[in-house]
Amino acid sequence: MKPITFLGKLYLIPTTLGEMNPEDVMPQTIKRSIDFIDDYIVENDKTARKFIKSIAPDKKQAELRLSLLNKHTEVADYQNMIQPLLEGRNIGLMSEAGCPGIADPGAVIVKLAHEKGIQVVPLVGPSSILLAIMASGMNGQSFTFNGYLPIDASEKKSTLKQLERISFEKNQSQLFIETPYRNNKIFEDMLATLQPNTHICVACDITLPTEFIKTLTVNDWKKNKVDLHKRPCIFIIHKF
């Protein structure tokens, strides 16, 4: 008779969207999960440990086992990362900011967990994408997150026009992000490229004390100055 193998569970643990008190945005389920999980898959060792300490200060850092999942991680390493699950231990998957698997490399681990028959447990926490569409006044029933737009000026202009056209034809809000130090530049490009009556929502520093969320037409934005330099932002456009 073959012995029964108990698999661990993969917990998707949200993190804060910036420097703030986790208690302001995190439910108690996050702390309870961190209290009993010692194995983690994270993007950055230092920030992950800092977050864990802020949530569970009594947790012994020396007992934590962290695997790094980022752009330098080899596909061949994925199997080793989930090995604790196959041995019956739980793993916590953390994003650098926000919810794991949403605009985040963690999705590859979640996919692998499903393939191995491992239970995936998503925990509640802040998602800048969902919070932005909630607060935008745009179409929360049909929207697309497009990630980063092209850096090349002509390609970026073409993409903006394409997203504007799709938003009008499908009544679908179009979300995207930019590297924070390029925020002001892409916002200038949007104002120069999009039609005057197209709506733009700028949602930056979401959940932080400096939170700024505003939706205006292109024409009205040209009358309002805002500095978005090095502030994490979600941009949404919609031509109604």
Distance CA 61, CA 63 (A): 5
Average pLDDT score over residue span 51-79: 94
Share of the chain above pLDDT 70, in %: 98
Beta strand 65-68 with 199-204 is: unpaired
Name every residue whose Cβ is closer than 8 Å to that of residue 35 and which is 6 or more positions away in sequence: 56, 59
What is the band of 2 on the pLDDT scale with cuts at 50, 70, 90? low
If pLDDT is split at 50, 70 and 90, which confidence band does 4 have?
A: low
Q: Within 10 Å of residue 174's Cβ, how many Cβ atoms?
A: 24
What pLDDT is attached to residue 6?
A: 83
- The two tokens of residue 120 are 């995936």
Give the residue from 44, 172, 24, 59 showing the smallest Cα distance to 105. 44
What was the pLDDT predicted at 71? 87
Is residue 169's pLDDT more than 70? yes
Residue pLDDT, tens place only, 123-166: 999 999 999 999 999 999 999 999 999 999 999 999 999 999 99
Phi, psi of 163 (to 5 degrees): -65, -40
Question: Tokens 């604790």 belong to which residue?
Answer: 84
CA angle 47, 48, 50 (to 5 degrees): 65
pLDDT at 173: 98
CA 239 to chain centre: 25
Q: What angle do CA 205, 101, 23 make, to 5 degrees?
A: 45
Asked if the model's pLDDT at residue 53 lies above 70, the reply is yes
Cα–Cα distance, 192 to 25 (Å, whole number)? 36
d(CA 85, CA 77): 14
Nearest to 186 by CA among 222, 150, 211: 150
Q: Is the pLDDT of residue 31 over 80?
A: yes
pLDDT of residue 5: 67
* Residue range 70-99, pLDDT digits in tens: 989 999 999 999 999 999 999 999 999 999
